[in-house]
Structures are given as C-alpha cells and as structure tokens.
Chains A and B, each alone.
Chain A
C-alpha cells in the first residue's frame, strides 16, 4: 500500500445488502405509484383530523360511526345494561372498518354448479356478478336479494349453505315459519326487559359484513301481532339499508352489504311488495340425469364430514346410484346413511342395491272417529 492510498479517505462501497434494500424500495415505490389513485382515495388528507370522514378503501366498508358507538356504549354502561354493553363492546373490538365479500373463484362456482345442477340459473347469476366484481376495485362482490321457490327437499337450503361456503362469508338462517315477531330480525326495543339485538345485527358482527341471511319458508310467516317481515321492506333496498337501526342497539349501521336469500315452496304466498324486491328463481326437482350428480355430491359430502363413510368404497355402484336417483335430494343423505348402516351390520364395506330402501309415502289417515263395528 502506497502513501497516497493511506491519505485518501476510504469511500465505503455500497454493500450487497444496501443494493438489495434499494431494489426493494424501488419495487415498493413502483407498486405504490401504479396504485396512486386508489391509495390517494384511501388517504384522509392532512386536514381531516377527526378520523370520521375517511371513506372506506376498496374492498372494505365503514359499518358504523365510531363516535355514535362510543356514546351508545357510555349510555349502556351508565344503565349497566349488560346485553347492550356486550353487543356494543364486540362491535367496537371488531372495528368500524370491515371487509366485503370478494369475488369467488371460478373453480368453486363450477363445482357448485356441478353439485347443484338444478340451481344452474342461480349459479349463472353469481357467475355474472363475479365477472362484475373482477372489474371492481377491491374485487367487491355484490349480489341482489334472491328468492328460491320450489318443492320441499330439492336442496334449496343446502345450496345456500354451500354458496356461503363458496363465497367464504358468514351465514345465518332464520326460519320465518316459526319466528313469532319482527324482533328476531331487527331486535327488540331496549325498553323490554329481555331486549336482544336481532339477526341482522348478529350477522354484521364478523370481520366480513357481506354475510348471507337465509329467510327460510318466507311464504309461511307465522300469524302474529308483530309483523315478522316488516323490517325487510327497508333492508332489501340498498339505499335504506345503509341507515339500518337495530331497535335494541339503536345505532345506525350499514346493512346494505348483506346478501339476502329467501326460500319458499310457493312464491305466490309471498306478499307482492316483498316479492318484487327479490330476483326470483324456480328450483325444480333434479332430472334423473342431474340426480346422478346430486347423489355423488351427497356421497362426497358424507365422506368429507362423517368418519364412518371413509370405511366404505369411494365410488357408489351404478345400481345404487340408480336407486338413489328416485329419491328427493333431501332423502338421499338419509338413505345413504341407512344403507351404509345396513351394509356395516352385514359385515360388508360395499354398498349394494338392497341396502337402499326407498321409503313409501305413508297413507294419509284422516283425523276423526274410527267407525266401530256396532254402527
């Protein structure tokens, strides 16, 4: 080393790590520049300090006003209303900003259509909405209220449950036939001693606010002094659902992102004003060809959910498929369970045609006095 080298200050070379970090920051800067417009939309700006005016970013929504919730919680604490405190506390912990349902995958929808061939029209609607979600910032998926009408046991409820799983959203079922009052939907007023929030509030208390609320047997509302379906007139309209108030909790929430599905046996039994708020689909009994797919789907469901099913053959014999095809989709699972039980009792691990018992329709006996021999 020469004397000049000692006098020259050592210029530190950029280490490999520095270069790597610079490349990382460059990549991040390029990405944020590409999405500048949507990021700017989510940025509150330096002047708004209250935190309330911030629009929710794509893919999310603001469920409630934080200040209103804070005030309601303070009031509930004053009154020592534990039901209300718990309800509001849970909402506060989950935060005002919640996620919306994203577009489901095309593969999942294809599988859903295969498993429920008689619901092809509904799957087609979901598929179209999926395409719309793909071009929406944040891939927000929205679906209009739908009404599925058809004979009992064709798989309407099972389809909705699978749809919820496919969309990865919370699911809640409300049986309208046994619901005695509108409290179940929109909560009972806090002045009642046993006031409770309703199903809408309960469904919104999840990180994702695009849950599915299934209104089962919507054509058979129970006769009651308190109209069961009254709140639906507001909730099924997007504009008014944005300002929904549960009677118990009494804070304004945005319920416009919920998915509504009604099921009924006869859509004529649904009040006209309510019926025209739904997109209606007729769900017919599957054809014999479609039933093969339904039976296979039921069999796979059993194998996925029942441990005993794994002890039996993976595929059903053709004659068993044919016999099960005569049943309604609802009866298929029951017949498969019974059939497997018979096979197990026989010491077999394969299902045979004789294990499947097609239940006969019981004779309709009239209520009344039986005629005695002396008459």
Chain B
C-alpha cells in the first residue's frame, strides 16, 4: 500500500501527551476494525507548534482517521483530557482547558511577582515597586493571595482599596514559591 511510505511507523509516540495518546490509540483500534490491519505504533498526527496536525499518507481511510483524530485532539486538553480549545500564550499555541490554562497563567504571574520581590541588601537603584495595589495584579493572582495578607486603606470619597507592601511580599515569598511547585505538579500530573 502506498501509505507505507509516508506514515511514521517507527513506533515512537512519546511526543504525544497521554490524553492525546489515548485518542490516537482509539483511532488505531478503529482503523483495525475497518481494515483488519493492526497498525500499533503508527503515527497519525504530528505536532506543529504544539498543535496536532494530520499526517497525510495517500490512503483514503488512513487520511480520514488522521484528520478526525487531529480534530478530536484539537478539542481535548493536552494535560488533563477535558474539553479544551486553542489558546495563545507568549506567542505559543496550545490546546488547554480553562482550568489547566488558568494554572499555567497563574504560575507565570506568580513568577513575575517573585521577580519583583526585593532581595536583602539590594541596591535601591533596582527600581522595583514598593507597593502593589490590588488592581495592579492580574485577576488570577489577586484571587489566590490570602485575604489576611492584604492591607486596606479608605481614601476619602472612594471605596476601600486593598494593597500590599514590600515587607508583605517578602513574608509571602515562601508561600508563593510553594504555590509554584504545586502548580508545576498540577499542570504536569506526570511529574
């Protein structure tokens, strides 16, 4: 058959995240039911910039399977397997559900905040903020910071606002670093 030439039959599917690997295996089983051929280890999709793309082979049945499997993968979170959509983050595309995307964005935001954390004996010319108004912080980060940390001020003729200072951030640093560890494990459950 002509498709033998173009389909990757090297048997290495390690590049596929586990939820997509399961989808891939289902399509391989479906292919066996249709044609009677056992093609374990075949690769129907390739990854381009983190997105699944069908591999064309010239075989009508196999091409259909490849197209369909890449469509299903494009709507399945590559981390947890839940329904997902395409997302762009820092110029990179990925297929993630809202929950996994939220965790990866939060991790990025926490790391940015940790970079602003002052170091002991740091030169004052480092130009780091000395206070963070709650609206300066992204919504996810604002949501996760413990309520007890916030300081409150009530400007005249305005609603009370929450803020935190350099010392508060320093106290929060170990907690934030631990949160990053938890998020890392949450985003990559295999780790």
The answer to whether B128 has its CB under 8 Å from any CB of chain A is no
Q: Name which of A23, A31, A46, A93 has the most chain B CB atoms within 10 A of its CB.
A: A31
Residues of B within 8 A of A273 (CB): none
Find the B residue at minimum CB distance from A64: B120
Chain A residues, Cβ within 8 Å of B105 = 24
Tell me if B125 counts as interface (CB < 8 A to partner A): no
Q: Are A138's CB and B181's CB within 8 A? A: yes
Which A residues lie within 8 Å of B186 (CB)?
31
Does B121 lie within 8 Å of A92, measured CB to CB?
A: yes
Stretch at the interface among A51-59, A116-124, A157-165: A51-59
B177 proximal to A (CB < 8 A)? yes
Give the contact-size bracket for chain B.
20 to 34
Q: Do A25 and B121 touch across chains, with their CB atoms under 8 A apart?
A: no
Chain A positions within 8 Å of B97 at CB level: 23, 27
Q: Contact mask A111-133 → B, CB, 8 Å, 1/0?
A: 00000000000000000000000
Interface-located stretch among A36-44, A229-237, A307-315, A336-344: A36-44
Known contacts A25-B140, A39-B182; A95/B119 CB under 8 A: yes
Task: Give complex CA distance A35, B178 in Å.
Answer: 10
Q: How far is the CA of A97 from the CA of B114 in the complex (A)?
A: 12
Could you tell me if A92 and B99 are in contact, using CB atoms closer than 8 angstroms? Answer: no
User: Is residue A110 within 8 Å, beta carbon to beta carbon, of the partner chain?
Assistant: no
Say how far B65's CB is from chain A's closest CB, in angstroms.
Answer: 31
CB distance from A39 to the nearest CB of B (A): 6
Which chain B residues (129-158) contact chain A, with CB distance < 8 Å?
139-140, 143-144, 146, 148-149
Interface assignment of B106: CB less than 8 Å from any CB of chain A:
yes
In-complex Cβ contact of A97 among B146, B174, B179, B182 (8 A): B174
Question: Per-residue 0/1 for B150-174: is the Cβ within 8 Å of any A Cβ (1 yes, 0 no)?
Answer: 0000000000000000010011111
B48 contacts chain A at the CB level, 8 A cutoff: no
Verify A28–B106 contact, CB threshold 8 A. Answer: yes
Bound-state Cα–Cα, A54 to B106, Å: 23
Which of chain B's residues have a CB closer than 8 A to the CB of A271? none
Binding stretch for chain B, among A6-14, A66-74, A249-257: A66-74
Please measure, in the bound complex, the distance between the C-alpha atom of A30 and the C-alpha atom of B172, giving whole angstroms.
20
> Which B residues between 66 and 81 are near A, CB-CB below 8 angstroms?
none
**CB-contacts of B96-131 with A (<8 A):** 97-103, 105-106, 119-122
Residues of A within 8 A of B103 (CB): 24, 27-28, 31
Q: For the side of the interface on A, what is the size category?
A: 35 or more
Do B119 and A54 have beta carbons less than 8 Å apart? Answer: no
> B100's contact among A27, A38, A44, by CB below 8 Å, is which?
A27
Beta-carbon contact of B144 and A32 below 8 Å: yes
B174 to chain A: which residues have CB within 8 Å?
42, 44, 54-57, 60, 97
Q: A51-B167, A92-B120 are in contact. Are A57 and B102 (CB under 8 A)?
A: no
With A24-B102, A27-B100, A28-B143 known as contacts, the answer to whether A93 contacts B178 (CB < 8 A) is: no
A252 to B101, CA, bound (A): 42
A92 to B99, CA, bound (A): 37
| A48 CA / B168 CA spacing, docked (Å) | 11
Q: Does A49 contact B (CB under 8 A)?
A: yes
List of B residues within 8 angstroms of A69 by Cβ: 120-121
Distance in Å from the Cβ of B113 to the closest Cβ of chain A?
A: 15
Which residues of the other chain, B, contact A32 by a CB distance below 8 angstroms? 144, 179, 182
Report the bound CA distance from A42 to B177 in whole Å: 9
Chain B residues with Cβ under 8 A from A29's Cβ? 143
Are the C-beta atoms of B121 and A51 separated by less than 8 Å? Answer: no
Inter-chain contacts of B119 with A (CB < 8 A): 92-93, 95
> Are A35 and B121 in contact (CB-based, < 8 A)?
no
A178 CA to B84 CA, complexed, in Å: 62
**In the bound complex, what is the Cα–Cα distance between A92 and B98 (angstroms)?**
39
**A20–chain B nearest beta-carbon distance, Å:** 5
Using CB atoms and an 8 Å cutoff, list the residues of chain B in contact with chain A. 97-103, 105-106, 119-122, 139-140, 143-144, 146, 148-149, 167, 170-175, 177-179, 181-183, 186
The 3 A-B residue pairs whose C-beta atoms are closest, nearest first, are A27-B99, A24-B102, A23-B98
